[in-house]
Amino acid sequence: MSKVIEKPATYDDLLKVPEHLVAEIVDGELFTSPRPASRHANAAGILFATLYRRLQRGEGCPPDWLFLIEPELHLGSDVLVPDIAGWRKTNMPKIPDTPWFDLAPDWVCEVVSVKTARLDRVRKLPRYAAHGVPYAWIVDPVAESVEVYRRAGEHMLQLSTHEGRVPIRAEPFDSCEIDLDELWLEE
């Protein structure tokens, strides 16, 4: 019996994916996901707006960060697309005009859905750690929760979980309060 050996996915494979899908290469495997539904899009959009206003523009917090929605990250052979990524201005003083980034962010956020939760937690978090991303958040708009992770070697260590409609202070933004109530759709 012979074994079929599949070659790792390439960027050319990724470019063949229809534009209405988000395509990523994670540890040599091509993954596609549909565009986010309303809960996901709302949580990601509000979180981005809050972080941009408070930590990039400096409204009540030090303006030490730059944030992007769904940047394409080329980290080694991985092509990852977090929902939001942030770079400390000391590492990336300005956002370059480029279609993708090879500088690992200082923080990533994945907003999970039923279809993406396993990919985001099981496959992507370890790849972020392997590429030196110091912090990650997993936001779950259905559970109304935020999981906070810090890199520990080749792994992401879960530091805390915050849930509900409360203000939080969480790494790496613990100098600034973020109100979770704003992230969740009204029932």
pLDDT, tens digit, for every residue of 109-144?
999 998 899 999 999 999 999 999 999 999 999 999
Percent of the chain clearing pLDDT 70 (strictly above): 97
Is there a contact between 135 and 172 (Cβ–Cβ < 8 Å)?
Answer: yes
Domain ranges of the chain: 35-183
Is there a contact between 51 and 173 (Cβ–Cβ < 8 Å)?
Answer: yes
Residue 2, pLDDT > 90, answer no
Nearest Cα neighbor of 149 from 162, 137, 163, 133 is 137
CATH architecture of the domain with residue range 35-183: Alpha-Beta Complex (3.90)
pTM of the predicted structure, to 2 decimals: 0.94
Q: Place 185 in a pLDDT band, splitting at 50, 70 and 90.
A: confident
Nearest Cα neighbor of 83 from 27, 22, 144 is 22
Residue 1, pLDDT > 50, answer no
At 30 the pLDDT is 94
Average predicted confidence (pLDDT) for the chain: 93
